[in-house]
Amino acid sequence: MLLDRTQVRPRGLSAPRRRTTLLLLLIPGVLWYVLFKYLPMAGIAYAFTDFGFRAKVSFVGLDNFKRLFASMDFGRVLGNTLLLSLLNMVVFFPLPILIALLLNEIRGLKARRAVQFVIYLPHFFSWVVVGGIFTMLLSPSNGLVNALLGRLGVAPVYFMASPGWFRWILVGSHVWRDMGYAAVIYIATLATIDPELYASAYVDGAGRLAQTWYVTLPCLRSTIATVLLLNLAGVLKIFEQILVMYNSAVKQVSDVLKTYEFTEGLLNGDIGYATAVGLFTSLVSFVLVVGLNQLSKHVLDESIM
C-alpha cells in the first residue's frame, strides 16, 4: 500500500521546539557572561571614591584620575605598556599566519599532526610553568643558554635581571607559548578555501608562492583583520606573564599598567585608585579597537564590528 506524502511527517522535533531547545542551551553561557562579565562592571563606581583607606567610603569625583595623570609612575608604566604591546604585536602577530601557511604545505597527515602537537603543547602550560622554564634555561649558573655561551668563551649573562634583555625575554616567551595555538583559526580558515581557486591559478601559470600571494592571503584577509582586532582589544592588559617573571632589577622597564594596578590595589590597599587605573586601561583599549575598526573600513572596505 502506498503512503500519501502529505501524511508522512519528518521525525524529530518541530522547528519551534528545536529553536526553544537551542535557546535553552544558550542559558548557561549567557548566565556566565552576566555573572562574571557584566555584573562586575558595577565596581567601576569605586574609581570615583576613596575606597580602601577609610571605613566610610566617600565620593571623590575625578580625583583618582587627576592623581594618576600627575603621578611620576604614570609615564613610566604607560610607556612600558605601549612598548611591550607594540613589540608583541610586531613580533608575534605575523608568526601564526606563517605557521598556518607552512602547515598547509605539509601533505602527510601524520607529519602535520605531529608538528601541530609540538607547537600547540606550550599553550597549555601556565605562565608560572613558563616562567620557571625560562628561568632555568637562562640561569647564569646552570642554565643551558649560559652553558652554551660559556663554551664560546662568553661570560655568564644575567638575562632575567638585565633591563636590556628582559623585554625580549617577555616577547620570546609569549611567542614560544602561544604562536602555535594562535595559528588554529588560520588553519581552520585555510580548510574552507575552494581548491578550484588553486587549480585555476595553477592553470594560469602560478607557482606555489604566487598561489599563496594571490589566493591564500586574500582569502585570509578578513580573518587576519578580525584576529588583529581581538589581539588589540587585550594588548594593554598583559599582566600574568610579567607578574610571575619580573623582579626588582627589571621593574623599571617591565612594570605595566596592570601590574601597577595590582600593586596599588591589592598590595597597597588603595582600591579606588587601582580601579581608576583599570578603567583608564579599558578606555584606551576601547579607543584602539574602535580606531582599528575605522581603519579596516577604509583599507579593507569591511567593518569588523
Give Cα 24 to chain centroid, integer Å: 30
pLDDT band at 80; cut points 50, 70, 90: very high
The answer to whether position 165 is within a domain reads yes
Query: Residue 8: pLDDT band by 50, 70, 90 thresholds?
Result: very low
Residue 59 pairs in a beta bridge with: 49
At 278, the pLDDT band (50, 70, 90 cuts) reads very high
Q: Between residues 47 and 222, which one has the greater pLDDT?
A: 47
- The parent domain of residue 286 ranges over 48-299
Question: Is residue 238, in this structure, part of any structural domain at all?
Answer: yes
Report yes or no: 299 and 79 within 8 Å, Cβ to Cβ. no
Are the CB atoms for 175 and 95 separated by under 8 Å?
yes
Instruction: Identify whether the C-beta of residue 238 lies closer than 8 Å to the C-beta of residue 85.
Output: yes
Average pLDDT over residues 56-61: 87
Domain contains 241: yes
Output the pLDDT for position 305: 65
Report pLDDT digits (tens) over 37-46: 899 888 899 9
Q: Which of 218, 224, 208, 210 is nearest to 105 (CA)?
A: 208
Q: Is 9 contained in some domain?
A: no
Q: What is the CATH number of the domain that holds 220?
A: 1.10.3720.10
Residue (of 132, 162, 158) closest to 145 by Cα position? 158
Note whether residue 208 is domain-resident: yes
Identity of the highest mean pLDDT range in 170-174, 245-249, 289-293: 170-174
pLDDT above 60 for 4: no
pLDDT digits (tens, 9 = 90+) for 30-39: 999 999 989 9
Residue-wise pLDDT tens digits, 87-112: 988 899 999 999 999 888 888 888 88
Task: Give me the number of domains the chain comprises.
Answer: 1
Q: Are 62 and 48 in contact (CB under 8 A)?
A: yes
Helix (H, G, I), strand (E, B) or coil at 238: coil
**What mean pLDDT comes out for the span 132-145?**
92
Report helix, strand or coil for 49. Answer: strand
Q: What is the pLDDT of residues 159-207, one digit of tens each?
A: 999 998 999 999 999 999 999 888 988 988 888 888 898 888 888 888 8
pLDDT value of position 1 = 45
Q: How far apart are CA 299 and CA 305, in angstroms?
A: 15
| 72-92 vs 94-105: helix crossing angle, rounded to 10 | 20
Q: What is the pLDDT of residue 300?
A: 66
Q: Vertex 260, ends 254 and 261: CA angle to 5°?
A: 145
Dihedral over alpha carbons 276, 277, 283, 289 (to 10 degrees): -160
Report the predicted TM-score, pTM, of the whole model to 2 decimal places: 0.83
Q: How far apart are CA 127 and CA 258, in angstroms?
A: 16
